[in-house]
């Protein structure tokens, strides 16, 4: 019986890829384990092996085709004497539970178009280019490394492997192994070494494969990096950037899915950045590398491949402590940051159709935090909903709610609602994971609730 070969998912967050090259042709006899094709994801080129044996009846997708969705049939294997047309197309969904991958990801960079002039970070008329968050991060680091010899990057797989998430792709070639340093798997140790190097006059960028692993090193981050300037009476600072993927990816389970925004935002001496767009990723990372303090730079794996418009300027930075108003509105203020912005913006679109005008604010940095922009907005709309992926106890939203209560109590027409991740470790099962994360529907519901609709 004919077997359809489907486009495989080759990473937890992969939704589509490029069929770079076929290594078999129609009529070839294929053994299980044989390499059929090379498939390019946004992170790497992977070899794709046959599971079943048979004869290649038909190649359904030509090599070089980009944007092939996961689970699309790409070829048909037949038995001796069988026709390729016999493939049972109807079987596809059943064979592919992977298709139920994280739904929110599908909604791509659509909101980019509604950039508000009110918080533009570059002059009007600046030419823009489209790039992914991944490319923006890489450009930021490379530009800063070109201009400042003391800047270097260290971390697991940043060099020869080209980055576990391909953020540092190509950087080893350009800057050499003196400045693009592969470390052993030893977060506690290399974080301490990087902090010491910063004391010694360098400006390290430490990449954590994910911030989950930085918990091994959190003593060095907080006790050594954040506090030394104070403990030394201002003598000894620590110019360093700790960056990497933060928050839930997709289906990677409890130990690899956690948002550290509120953890680090609590610590005086640290600066904390959590960008959503590629432009912010670039401008804020450049700013972080130039900052003379330890900066926690929280990225998101799901956003790495997302494209946004980025100003095409030789040098552009975004100051810390300045929120961006993505969308102006009059009925309610939605405050978010990082990937939470996706839910906030989606919710705003849906609410607009129901006649509710939401103002959407991206905090961008959590330390310092731009209270003024939030308060001014709440004083205008009289209602507020916060959105974040982290846990509900001690959340950034809790803090903002308190601040709003203290400084704008008389302006509020409804209690502030915090939309957060659920108060549980991240489950693996697809349906439970979806339930554990904050959703657009929850944001819509919260807004309707504060609007008494």
Partner 1 sequence: MAARKTTEKSNSSKDDLLHYYREMLLIRRFEEKAGQLYGMGLIGGFCHLYIGQEAVVVGLEAAAEEGDKRITSYRDHGHMLACGMDPKGVMAELTGREGGYSRGKGGSMHMFSKEKHFYGGHGIVGAQVPLGAGLAFADKYLDNKRVTFAYFGDGAANQGQVYEAYNMAELWNLPVIFVIENNQYAMGTSMKRSTKSTSLFGRGLAYGIQGEAVDGMDVQAVRAAGEKAIAVCRAGEGPYILEMMTYRYRGHSMSDPAKYRTREEVQKMRDEKDAIEHVRELLLGGGHATDDDLKEIDKEIKLRVNEAAEFAKDSPEPGLAELWTDIYA
Q: 188 an active-site residue?
A: no
Which CB sits closer to partner 1, 232 or 255?
232
Catalytic residue selected from 143, 187, 207, 346:
187
CB of 110 to partner 1, least distance (A): 37
Which CB sits closer to partner 1, 196 or 392?
196
CB of 224 to partner 1, least distance (A): 6
Q: Return the exposure string of 365-386: e unless at least 16 CB atoms fall within 10 Å of the residue's CB, then b.
A: bbbebbbebbbbbbeebbbbbb
CB of 367 to partner 1, least distance (A): 10
CB of 238 to partner 1, least distance (A): 8
Which CB sits closer to partner 1, 104 or 196?
196
Q: Return the exposure string of 12-44: e unless at least 16 CB atoms fall within 10 Å of the residue's CB, then b.
A: bbbbbbbbbebebeeeeebeeeeebbbbbbbbb
CB of 229 to partner 1, least distance (A): 5
Which CB sits closer to partner 1, 224 or 386?
224
Which CB sits closer to partner 1, 168 or 381?
168
Three-state secondary structure string covering the chain:
CCEEEECCCCCCCCCEEEEEEECCCCCCEECCCCEEEEEECCCCEEEEECCCCEEEEEECCCCCEEEEECCCEEEEEECCCCCHHHCCHHHCCCCCHHHHCCHHHHCCCHHHHHCCHHHCCCCCCCCEEEEEHHHHHHHHHHHHHHHCCCEEEEECCCCCCCCCCCCCCCHHHHHCCCCEEECCCCHHHHHHHHHHHHHCCCEEEEEEEEHHHHHHHHHHHHHHHHCHHHHCCCCCCCCEEEEEECCCCCCCCHHHCCCCHHHHHCCCCCEEECCCCHHHHHHHHHHHHHCCCEEEEEECHHHHCCEEEEECCCCCCCCCCCCEEEECCCCEEEEECCCHHHHHHHHHHHHHHCCCCEEEEECCEEECCCHHHHHHHHHHHCCEEEECCCCCCCCHHHHHHHHHHHHHHHHCCCCCEEECCCCCCCCCCHHHHHHHCCCHHHHHHHHHHHCCC
Angle, nearest 10°, between helix axes 340-353 and 440-450? Answer: 60
CB of 193 to partner 1, least distance (A): 4
Which CB sits closer to partner 1, 116 or 186?
186
Which CB sits closer to partner 1, 122 or 199?
199
Using CB under 8 A as the criterion, which residues of the chain lie in contact with partner 1 when the complex forms? 152, 178, 183-184, 186, 188-202, 219-220, 223-224, 228-237, 239, 268-269, 271, 292-293
Q: 187 an active-site residue?
A: yes
286: tokens are: 């450049």
Quote the distance between the C-alpha of residue 243 and its chain's center.
12
CB of 228 to partner 1, least distance (A): 7
The length of the chain is 453
Catalytic residue selected from 15, 256, 309, 346:
256
Which CB sits closer to partner 1, 100 or 236?
236
CB of 235 to partner 1, least distance (A): 5
Catalytic positions, please? 187, 256
């Amino acid at each position: 019986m004919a077997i359809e070969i489907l486009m495989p998912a080759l990473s937890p967050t992969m939704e589509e890829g490029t069929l770079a090259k076929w290594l078999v042709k129609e009529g070839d006899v294929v053994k299980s384990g044989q390499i059929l094709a090379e498939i390019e994801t946004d992170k790497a080129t992977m070899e794709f092996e046959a599971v079943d044996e048979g004869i290649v009846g038909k190649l359904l997708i030509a090599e070089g085709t980009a944007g092939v969705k996961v689970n699309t049939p790409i070829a048909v294997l037949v038995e001796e004497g069988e026709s390729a047309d016999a493939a049972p197309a109807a079987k596809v969904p059943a064979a592919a539970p992977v298709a139920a991958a994280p739904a929110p990801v599908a909604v791509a960079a659509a909101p980019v178009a509604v950039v508000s002039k009110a918080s533009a970070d570059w002059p009007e008329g600046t030419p823009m280019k489209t790039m992914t968050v991944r490319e923006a991060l890489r450009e930021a680091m490379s530009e800063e490394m070109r201009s400042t010899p003391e800047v270097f990057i260290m971390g697991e797989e940043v060099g020869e492997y080209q980055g576990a998430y391909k953020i540092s792709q190509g950087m080893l070639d350009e800057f050499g192994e003196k400045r693009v340093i592969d470390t052993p798997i030893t977060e506690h140790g290399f974080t301490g070494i990087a902090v010491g190097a910063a004391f010694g006059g360098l400006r390290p960028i430490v990449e954590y494969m994910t911030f989950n692993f930085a918990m091994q090193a959190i003593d060095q981050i907080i006790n050594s990096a954040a506090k030394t300037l104070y403990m030394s009476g201002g003598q000894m600072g620590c110019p360093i950037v700790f960056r990497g993927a933060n928050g839930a990816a997709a289906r990677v389970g409890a130990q690899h899915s956690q948002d550290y925004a509120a953890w680090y935002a609590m610590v005086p001496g640290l600066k904390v950045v959590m960008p959503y767009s590629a432009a912010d990723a670039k401008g804020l990372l450049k700013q972080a590398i130039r900052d003379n303090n330890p900066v926690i730079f929280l990225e998101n794996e799901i956003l790495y491949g997302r494209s946004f418009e980025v100003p095409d300027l030789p040098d552009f930075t975004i100051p810390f402590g300045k929120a961006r108003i993505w969308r102006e509105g009059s009925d309610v203020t939605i405050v978010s940051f990082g990937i939470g912005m996706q839910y906030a913006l989606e919710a705003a679109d849906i609410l607009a159709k129901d006649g509710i005008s939401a103002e959407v604010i991206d905090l961008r940095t959590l330390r310092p935090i731009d209270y003024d922009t939030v308060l001014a907005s709440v004083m205008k709309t009289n209602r507020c909903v916060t959105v974040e992926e982290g846990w509900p106890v001690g959340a950034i939203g809790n803090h903002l709610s308190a601040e709003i209560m203290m400084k704008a109590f008389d302006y509020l027409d409804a209690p502030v609602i915090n939309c957060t991740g659920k108060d549980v470790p991240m489950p693996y099962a697809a349906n439970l994971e979806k339930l554990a994360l904050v959703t657009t529907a929850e944001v819509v519901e919260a807004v309707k609730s504060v609007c008494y609709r």
